[in-house]
Amino acid sequence: MKITMEIVEQDLQFLATTDRRYAELKAGLEHIKNTTKSVKGAFIVESNDSVAKSSEAFYASKDYVESAKRLHEINKEFHVLETKRNSAIMRIDVWRTLEATRRKGNIQWVKE
């Protein structure tokens, strides 16, 4: 793959336009994890069973199953976006390195 200035510009635009969504997904993951812990705690406190038995009941509950499904969906979207962003960052870094090397005169571009 040849990394051109156009590709780098597209990658920079992609990073700029996905910053907010990336942050929202990352915060959403943390929110669901923390909320699940709180719900589990409340579930255990309200139960008349032992902590171990209450914990097992919580993991079998509808609330937990729904939370786990939501966490899975957000996790998928987050990791797809994160991977695309990392690829864009990597292309920009490669281009930057090649440009610096070219400016020093260590390499010359081959015209096709």
The pLDDT tens digits for 25-74 are 999 999 999 999 999 999 999 999 999 999 999 999 998 999 899 999 99
**Is 108 a residue whose pLDDT tops 70?**
no
Q: How many domains does the chain contain in total?
A: 1
Confidence at residue 30, expressed as pLDDT on a 0 to 100 scale: 95
Residue 47 Rama label (left phi>0; alpha psi -120 to 50; beta): beta
Q: Would 8 be classed as within a structural domain?
A: no
**Confidence tier at 105 by pLDDT (50, 70, 90):** confident
Q: Are residues 88 and 15 in contact, defined by beta-carbon separation less than 8 angstroms?
A: yes
Q: Would 49 be classed as within a structural domain?
A: yes
**Is 82 a residue whose pLDDT tops 70?**
yes
**Is 7 a residue whose pLDDT tops 80?**
yes
Residue 28 tokens, joined: 């959403």
Q: Would 75 be classed as within a structural domain?
A: yes
Confidence at residue 46, expressed as pLDDT on a 0 to 100 scale: 92
Confidence at residue 102, expressed as pLDDT on a 0 to 100 scale: 81
CA atoms within 13 A on the CB side of 87: 11
Confidence at residue 107, expressed as pLDDT on a 0 to 100 scale: 63
Q: Would 13 be classed as within a structural domain?
A: no
In which domain, by residue range, is 64 found? 25-103
> In the predicted model, what is the mean pLDDT of the chain?
91
Q: Would 86 be classed as within a structural domain?
A: yes
For residues 65 and 63, what is the distance between their CA atoms, to the nearest angstrom? 6
**Confidence tier at 103 by pLDDT (50, 70, 90):** confident
Q: Are residues 70 and 32 in contact, defined by beta-carbon separation less than 8 angstroms?
A: yes
Confidence at residue 86, expressed as pLDDT on a 0 to 100 scale: 98
Q: Would 9 be classed as within a structural domain?
A: no
